[in-house]
Amino acid sequence: MHFVRMIKRFQSSSTINKEEISKFASISNEWWDPKGKFEMLHRMNPVRVSYIRSILEEKLRATSLNKSKPFENLRILDIGCGGGLLSESLARLGGSVLGVDAGEEQINIAKLHKLKNKFHENLDLNYVQASAEQLCETEYEKFDVLCGLEIIEHVDDKSLFLKSCVDLVKPEGTLFFSTINRTPSSNFLTIFLAQNVLNWVPRGTHEFSKYITPVEFEKELNLLNCEKIQFTGMIFNPMLNKWSLVSKSDFLYQIGSDLEVNYILSCQKKKQN
């Protein structure tokens, strides 16, 4: 398989952070435990999928959509897929999905979960261990959609990572990213409270210095010839124990604090002249 041949040619990568990979590898057996160390990610996943679906359905509104499989005929890349939470969701909606992660343990967990579920036999879903820039060697401009959710804070070279992501998408293709803003509020809520006090996520999962602001993100994407960049805040309600998108009618949006902590964004790669 050409993916395997390609990966063997690479011994290291400038975006791969071995400490980050090791961190998640040590708890990879809990990826599919909705009450385990990835509980918050399980709770966030439906909101992320809903956002992706709404953006893509709006973009494809001129074409006939299969309501049960709206992503049919779309080739989708889930970069930093981990154990495959998002990848499986996108494949169930009809997408031809490739899940990619730099961690061997994570990819093995994702593959195993697919094999163990008989309902996944007919999904167009594959996994490969690689980084974004490694994948560019064989998959340049091959994808209609790319998702890089909760991954950018865990890579070493954010600029190279984003460039590689854009390179992997076809002209006029859609990219999705989600991460955490670098603000006093995010430091308090995601590190001090969620990580160190409430233990909602394992200690060491987040590092404040690695967060990226929407302004920084937009600047990078503009340099990479992306357009239609739009940001939406995400917020966790501990009373309801669920995530939701911040709407324009919400108080946080009205006071300009909708992107203060977690956010998700979409953009489009410009058409080549």
Q: Which residues are annotated as a binding site?
A: 48, 80, 101, 149-150, 153-154
Please tell me the number of Cα atoms within 13 Å of 120 on its side-chain side. 18
How far is it, in rounded angstroms, from Cα 71 to Cα 102? 25
Annotated binding site for Mg(2+): 150, 153-154
Q: Which residue has the tokens 């998108």?
A: 245
In contact, 183 and 212? CB cutoff 8 Å:
no
How far is it, in rounded angstroms, from Cα 64 to Cα 256? 37
In contact, 164 and 156? CB cutoff 8 Å:
no
CB atoms within 10 A of CB 175: 25
Annotated binding site for S-adenosyl-L-methionine: 48, 80, 101, 149
143-149 and 226-237 as β-strands: parallel, antiparallel, unpaired? Answer: unpaired
